[in-house]
Structure 1
Amino acid sequence: MQFRDARHNSPNHVLLAVAVALVVASVFCARSLWIPASRIENLHVRAVVLSVTEAVAAYASTTGLDDAVPRLRSSFLGLTGLSEHSSWDSRYFNRRNGSSNREDVVTPKTAERLPDSTETVPVPETLPGMPDGIPDGMTAAAEAPAVAAEAPAAPLVSSRIYSRDNPLPVYFFGDSQVFSLASGLSRLAGKDSAIDIDFLAIHSSGFIRDDFYDWPRKLEDTLADKEYAAVVVMLGMNDYQNFWTDDRRALKKRTEGWETVYRDKCRTIIDTALSRAMRVYWIGMPRVKNPSYDDNLSYIETIHNSVADEYSPDVLSRISLRSVIPGDGKPYSESVEIAPGRVQRIMTEDGSHFTVEGGQLVMQGLFDRLVRDFPFSELPVAQLPE
């Protein structure tokens, strides 16, 4: 007795059709096959899958079939005007060979790094520590210094006097946390301010994995196109992961080899920023709700601090978030009391990102630092949440 309906294909036919479709699609999309493969968490499985994608890509390249989809994509982006949009810019997203393989990467300027401990660095009159990052009237439970214990920075000498007509140009870049932090800083500055903030937030980006987003190249191109006096860096929330080096070594987090390479990646971005800007501000990691994630970020923060110590505080400043909200030694909190009887929510539902109002509060320390470090004809006043 035959049960198969002649009007429909058998399961084997369907599976065969799907397999053929996948093979054809793989050949036409061969240049991009490595992208999903590179997201595999297990490094050894990732290596095997990447080897397969490389074989497919090699065949597609010899036949020229891998050129059709990229051309179609470029035409679509050009017609729609999306080619210059940061979320579609293929110059920096998903680049198999990141900046670590390029010969034109910016090298450190010798004046930026601190010399050996046997030498001394002449430092002009220093600034006092940063003021509290929370406005007056906030309860003691939410108050804390805006910067953790660190060497005070010297006043920056600038030939320009900044004003509303000639605002201080600031470039704020980093991962998804930048959306709320840079927006909060912009709110602090207010409309028609003497501080002009441009920012770029790339979800899931970091100091590592420049094959996903090439920050060194993006930063170099951006700072070459427009002059910025100050650059603000917020990266690291996505960096607690294993990764491969350029010479195909698997590096596992919390190992000496991982930390060595990670420090180099941090230096590359900091050096690139310092090669163009007068001063760089490096934002620390936030306190987050998930205890395991919070511990991972504390580990990342420790490495960042050790790298920052290699630079003169005259050019690089660390800006702590944890010492402001919730405060040194205090547990995670999703809201703070900013005035008697008034509570402000500062963290989003995910427990990892600030709200814009939270960014406005936690960025007051950076705002005050900018006002101190650069000359203004009239000192800008922070616009706090009402």
Structure 2
Amino acid sequence: MSARRALLFVVACLALLAVLRSAAMVHAGEGMPPGTTRDLVLGVARPLDEVTSALRLNQPDRLLTKAFGHPDPTVGKADDSELAAAAALAEPDANTGTGTGTGQVKDRSRDGDAADALRTPTPADPLRVLVTGDSLTESLGPTITKTAPPAIRAETDTRFGTGLVRPDFFDWATHARHQVAERDPEAVVVAMGGNDGQGITQPDGTILPAGSPQWEAEYRRRAIVLMRIWSDGGTRRVYWLGLPPARSTTLNGYFARMNEATRAAADRVPGARFLDLRPTLSDGGAYTDYLTDGGGHSVLIRTRDGVHLTLDGARLAAGPVLHTLSGDWHLS
């Protein structure tokens, strides 16, 4: 076979594979870090998947996947997700003041007692901190690890392309339970929401438009479910970081809604706390690419997408996080 014919054969095989496994391409693309490669993959895979699904060309792949006992990425499982199913039970009962589902409403009168009960970590027995969330933790997590005092031992678990609105793609409730069981953190620092500016599909098929009051309420309920898993009744501390302003006006509107939802969620979960980073990462509440650091230097704090933090931005964000951890855990 000539080189030309061999190349055409390879291209044809790849094209056939793309057609038969288009949903898997979408699933893989959604999990990629933000950037040109992700945009290109999803730009091709999503339209292709719509066509192949309509023509049922993906059926052989689904049957073979099921026969070999592998997970089927072409099937959404939002209705099976604890994050979606338990969200309806996450709000407190108006009459009793207790949650009807996975925990109790936070009693603010006990916050001081709970804080006093925290141990004082030492370099020999450091505080176990988990920094987790979507790509917003990619630079923040390692920065916290590198700049933390010896009495804090931090590690990062970043899950690209994830959030609370798509448990069919990545179920944070299930993952949070694995994190608690496998890593046993004492404090969990959470940053996510960059991918959540999209509608929420309920288990019954109802779609809540992004930014609507119903969408915000559901986002709050899902945040409550997740915070309760991590906090385990207040035995752990959860620090949910607010989203700083985005360059995009539309995205910034979604971020404001998410901040209100997660702030309200933290008020309902023992051991949870909302940390607003907007004073640290904005110009008086407005988006900015540059800020002045502690040394008086003007530094670039945002990447080109107007959402993610540069290393200098991560260093600025790490400051209030570590300050809060040190204050709550009696570190000098």
TM-score range, shorter chain: 0.7 to 0.9
Deviation at 1:294, TM superposition (A): 2.2
Q: In structure 1, what is the equivalent of residue 117 of structure 2?
A: 157
Whether contact under 8 Å (1:99, 1:214) holds in the other structure is no
Would you say 1:180 and 2:133 are equivalent positions?
no
TM-score of the pair, normalised by structure 1: 0.64
Aligned match for 1:209, one of 157, 160, 166: 166
Greater CA radius of gyration, 1 or 2?
1
- Change in Cα spacing, 1:316 to 1:328, as seen in structure 2 (3 Å) is farther
Higher mean C-alpha displacement, 301-310 vs 316-325: 301-310
**Larger RCO: 1 or 2 (CA < 8 Å, sep 6+):** 1
Q: In structure 2, what is the equivalent of residue 52 of structure 1?
A: 54
Would you say 1:97 and 2:77 are equivalent positions?
yes
> How many angstroms apart in 1 are the aligned matches of 2:82 and 2:261?
25
- Change in Cα spacing, 1:324 to 1:186, as seen in structure 2 (3 Å) is same
TM-score of the pair, normalised by structure 2: 0.73
Aligned match for 2:109, one of 94, 118, 122: 122
Q: In structure 1, what is the equivalent of residue 300 of structure 2?
A: 345
Whether contact under 8 Å (1:37, 1:50) holds in the other structure is no
The answer for unaligned runs of 5 or more in structure 1 is: 1-7, 72-89, 116-120, 127-153, 380-386
Amino acid at match of 1:326: S
**Secondary structure, in 3 states, of the residue corresponding to 2:294?**
strand
- Change in Cα spacing, 1:229 to 1:327, as seen in structure 2 (3 Å) is farther
What's the % identity of the aligned pairs? 20
Residues 3-82 of structure 1: pairs in structure 2 closer than 5 A: 29=21, 32=24, 35=27, 52=54, 55-56=56-57, 64=64, 67=67
Deviation at 1:223, TM superposition (A): 0.6
Deviation at 1:304, TM superposition (A): 2.1
Residues 1-386 of structure 1: pairs in structure 2 closer than 5 A: 29=21, 32=24, 35=27, 52=54, 55-56=56-57, 64=64, 67=67, 96-98=76-78, 100-101=80-81, 108-110=102-104, 113-114=105-106, 122-123=109-110, 125=112, 155-158=115-118, 160-189=119-148, 193-275=150-232, 277-312=235-270, 315-340=271-296, 342-376=297-331, 379=332
Deviation at 1:318, TM superposition (A): 0.9
Whether contact under 8 Å (1:336, 1:346) holds in the other structure is no
> How many angstroms apart in 1 are the aligned matches of 2:220 and 2:133?
17
Amino acid at match of 1:309: D
- Change in Cα spacing, 1:98 to 1:287, as seen in structure 2 (3 Å) is same
The answer for unaligned runs of 5 or more in structure 2 is: 31-40, 91-100
> How many angstroms apart in 2 are the aligned matches of 1:215 and 1:197?
20
Deviation at 1:157, TM superposition (A): 0.6
> How many angstroms apart in 2 are the aligned matches of 1:215 and 1:332?
31
Root-mean-square deviation (CA), in Å? Answer: 4.0
Deviation at 1:326, TM superposition (A): 2.4
- In proportion to residue count, which structure has more helix? 2
> How many angstroms apart in 2 are the aligned matches of 1:311 and 1:366?
19
> How many angstroms apart in 2 are the aligned matches of 1:21 and 1:337?
50
- Change in Cα spacing, 1:124 to 1:51, as seen in structure 2 (3 Å) is closer
Cα deviation digits, residues 33-85 of structure 1 (max 9, x gap): 774899989xxx999769638x55555555x47657x87xxxxxxxxxxxxxx
**Secondary structure, in 3 states, of the residue corresponding to 1:282?**
strand
> How many angstroms apart in 2 are the aligned matches of 1:218 and 1:331?
32
